[in-house]
Amino acid sequence: MSLLRADQSLATDSYYAATAPRTQGFPTLEGRVDCDVAVVGGGLAGLSAAIELADLGFEVALLEARQVGWGASGRNGGQALAGLACEQSVIEEQLGATDARAVWDMTLEAIALIHTRCERFGIDCEWRAGYLSLAVNDRKGRELAQWHDHMRCHYGYEATPIAKHELPQWIASPRFHSGLHDPRSGHLHPLKYCLGMARAADRLGVRIFEHSAVTALVPDATSRLRTAQGEVRARHVLLAGNVYLNAVAPQLGPRIMPVGTYIVASERLDPTLARSLVPSGSAVCDTNFVLDYFRPTADDRMLYGGRVSYSTVTPAHLAASMQSRMATTFPQLAGTKVEYAWGGFVDISMNRAPDFGRLADIGAGPRAANVYYLQGFSGHGLALTGLAGKLVAEAIGGDAKRFDTFARIRHRPFPGGRLLRTPALVLGMAYYRLRDIL
């Protein structure tokens, strides 16, 4: 089964799609289009870049294989968080203290950018501030406290430590040991945000084409991108399709792995019960390597995510197994029905750091110097994708300093080649699951 077909089956029961009906469609590309910049991918990274490029005066065409927001940008857990999916030490070791601080500060800018765009374009995405990072045992509690001490001392990051006896004020669950509360991070309805970004790009003159999968890319001074019924010619290209690029840029595939992740939304709860589960209304993640994440919704449901798959096969009995996980965290929801169960694929890199760069720098030849790519958000991209699009636009506009800071992060391909890298990843993740338990 192809990744697109597998993901289609995961997209059919999304709470987001049910609560954010599409009111605007875009045409399929037919014939030839000439522009300054061609963007491949209608998720948040591509739409963000398109908006920023239009603001800079570039003519932009955006090609989306399905519909805008169809992939992870419109189906994720809705948590917009400071930082990266990897430990900050990964960035410190590679880039040094000064640039590591610059990267951290840019992740805070990414959250602020969401607010700026919602205000500018009138996007109602149900933003709610607050994020709880929770440890499940004493060892992980010590690790979380050490991390916070380091981030406070070296990055000026201020969060509220939560001791075990204080947890009932923050979460009605017996599962956790201690935690941190970050007031700057938060959560939102990702599909409402993504569709709002698409409307904004359209109003700024970006030509958006849906159901227009790119089948071939020919890099050159003027690159050509072919679809089933048309062609785009552009001086610059941005590849923001993540795990869905297929053979368009074969150099990118080995650097990321598609990992399935799954979410359920409960039936609407009694408002008093719903608001008692997480009294602050914050988004929540545990600190396990293979983590659970959850948040209350604006209409008094519990949205609960977790469980991962390293194949394209949806786990059996998805709704029931996820309901069981939710009830383990919140025993008071043991009899609660699940009304929506869905999932999708995120693109993880080996070190879980984002992978930004130019195709020319990873073996595609000098003709690909004006072909940029954004990938490897590793499940932590709701805010960072927006910032990434802005950095690409800056680079195309002539100031590549901030983009190149990220591009300096080194990445290795997943071991095992096309056939063996998935089993190798399964073994590696089994090790991390064992560490989470101990």
| Mean pLDDT along residues 79-86 | 97
Q: Which of 75-79, 97-101, 220-224, 245-249 has the lowest mean pLDDT?
A: 245-249
CA distances from 28 to 64, 208, 231, 237, 307 (A): 9, 9, 11, 19, 35
- What are residue 252's phi and psi, to 5 degrees? -85, -30
Helix pair angle (44-55, 190-203), 10° resolution: 30
Per-residue pLDDT at 416 exceeds 90: no
In order of 11, 191, 205, 281, 345, the CA distances from 6 in angstroms are 9, 20, 33, 33, 9
Calpha distance 61→69 (Å, rounded): 16
How confident is the model over 23-55, as pLDDT tens digits? 999 999 999 999 999 999 999 999 999 999 999
Rg of the chain taking only CA atoms, in angstroms: 21
- Average pLDDT (244-252) is 89
Residue with the bigger pLDDT between 256 and 437: it is: 256
Percent of the chain with pLDDT over 90: 84
Distance CA 269, CA 274 (A): 6
**With 50 as the cut, is the pLDDT of residue 392 above it?**
yes
The pLDDT score that the predictor gives to residue 430 is 45
Contacts of 404 (CB under 8 A, 6+ apart): 395
Distances (CA, A) of 304 to 193, 269, 347: 20, 14, 20
What pTM was computed for the model?
0.94
* Cβ count near 124 (within 10 Å): 11
Q: Two tokens at 200?
A: 């904004």
pLDDT band at 13 (very low <50, low <70, confident <90, very high): confident
CA distance 50 to 203: 11
What is the DSSP code (8-state) at residue 398? T
Contacts of 269 (CB under 8 A, 6+ apart): 300, 301, 302, 333, 336
Q: Using CA atoms, how far apart are residues 308 and 319, in angstroms rounded to an integer? A: 14
Do 381 and 352 form a contact (C-beta atoms < 8 A)? no
Q: How many residues does the chain have?
A: 438
User: Above pLDDT 70, what percent of the chain?
Assistant: 91
Band of residue 421 on the pLDDT scale cut at 50, 70, 90: low
* Distance separating alpha carbons of residues 53 and 59, to the nearest angstrom: 8
> Is the pLDDT confidence value at 2 over 70?
no
pLDDT at residue 387 greater than cutoff 70: yes
| Minimum mean pLDDT range among 178-192, 220-234, 307-321 | 307-321
d(CA 173, CA 368) in angstroms, rounded, equals 52
What pLDDT sits at residue 3? 59
Can you give 228-288 as a three-state secondary structure string? CCEEEEEEEEEECCHHHCCCCCCCCHHHEEEEEEEEEEECCCCHHHHHHHCCCCCEEEECC
Model pLDDT for residues 328-375, shown as the tens digit of each residue = 999 999 999 999 999 988 899 999 999 999 999 998 899 999 999 999
Quick check: helix, strand or coil at residue 311? coil
- Taking alpha carbons only, the member of 384, 388, 408 closest to residue 107 is 384
pLDDT given at position 314: 73
